[in-house]
Amino acid sequence: MSNKKVLIAEDSSVIQNIAKRVLEFQNYEIDSAKNGKEVLKKLEKTTYDVILMDINMPQMDGMECARQIRALGDAKKSQIPIIAITGNAQNYSLEDFKEAGINDYLPKPIDFDNLVTLIRQISPE
């Protein structure tokens, strides 16, 4: 059985590296992107079990990226579970996230226990 693949989309390399190491410790295989456009590019070539996505990214933010993922032609890819990481929790409600196609969210500063639990719960099987 191969490891679950997680794509981390976050423009801060400090936070990228921490999330990557924490999840690698849990035996996930990690890939990274710095903004929404890069996420979509990666999805052209491969698929993931979960996408962890910062909302506030340059070029294309998390909300727009989520909408575009949900609009993809590929049935499997368009359904990939997405967890948003949000630095300004009061900007969007859970309803706003769900409307954009996001499954759940984690506020910053990231609680690592919650991160691990959520990823475990949300990825299929």
Partner 1 sequence: MKGHIGVDSELGQGSTFWFTFEAHLSREVAQNAQAEALHFSTEPQFSESVPSVLVVDDNAVNRKVASEILRKAGCEVRIAQSGAECLAMLSREKKHFDLILMDIQMPDMDGVETTRRLREKFGKALPPIVAMTAYSMREDREKFLAKGLDDYISKPIKAQALINKVKEHLLPVDAVPPVGTLKGTLAQPGGAMLDLGILRQLSKYGGVELVQESLREFCEDSEVLLQEAQGAFCLHQPEIIRQKIHTLKGNAGTLGVNQVARLATAMEKRLKEGNYPALADDLNLLAQHFADFKENYIILLAKI
Using CB under 8 A as the binding rule, whether residue 111 contacts partner 1 is answered as yes
Judge contact between 15 and 110, C-beta under 8 A: yes
- For the chain, the distance separating the N- and C-terminal CA atoms, rounded to the nearest angstrom, is 12
Residues 100, 92: Cα–Cα separation, whole Å: 11
How big is the site for partner 1, counted in residues (CB under 8 A)?
A: 21
In whole angstroms, the minimum distance from the beta carbon of 55 to partner 1 comes to: 11
User: Which span (16-24, 31-39, 65-73, 91-99) binds partner 1, by CB under 8 A?
Assistant: 16-24
- Paired with 105 in beta bridges are 84
Using CB under 8 A as the binding rule, whether residue 120 contacts partner 1 is answered as no
Residue with token string 């933010």: 61
Residues 115, 112: Cα–Cα separation, whole Å: 5
Residues in region 28-87 near partner 1 by CB under 8 A: 56, 58, 87
In whole angstroms, the minimum distance from the beta carbon of 26 to partner 1 comes to: 8
Q: Residues interacting with partner 1, by CB under 8 A? A: 11-15, 17-18, 21-22, 25-26, 56, 58, 87, 108-113, 116
